[in-house]
Amino acid sequence: MRVYAEALWGCWRPSATIEAFDPANHYIIERDGVAVGCIAEIWQPDHVFIGKLYVDAPFQRQSIGAVVLEMKSKEACAKGIPIKLSVLTTNPADAFYRREGFEVESETAERRWMLKRWAATAASDSAISSL
């Protein structure tokens, strides 16, 4: 994460990261009893927001992030709500999220706000917007 923040803002501010940390919604991702990453999720009535999905570098490109997203996708789909997240524009994880079915909902110079919805969710959004 540091390299993407430095590429975007020219600096890394770990104190801001620590201040914003809320352990209540963070979970360790384990593989064979070894911590390999973490996920932060915030469930709202109308969506789930994935605040972080980090996989340690030696464990990347082994489908760990995809499996975790699939689990969250099944949970969100069962509730009929979309998944939202944001990714820094300098972060190559953008391509990963697109492969996993996320679409850009909006974008700033710093972030892409992405969304993954299910057919039923998209249909209900269309019905609501046509009222």
Rounded distance between C-alpha atoms, residue 45 and residue 84, angstroms: 13
Q: Where are the domains of the chain?
A: 2-129
* 35, 49 Cβ separation under 8 angstroms: no
Rounded distance between C-alpha atoms, residue 56 and residue 54, angstroms: 6
Q: What is the pLDDT along the chain (131 residues), one digit of tens a residue?
A: 555 445 544 555 555 566 666 778 889 999 999 999 999 999 999 999 998 899 999 999 999 999 999 999 999 999 999 999 999 888 889 999 999 999 999 999 889 999 999 875 454 454 444 44
Say which CATH superfamily domain 2-129 falls into: Gcn5-related N-acetyltransferase (GNAT) (3.40.630.30)
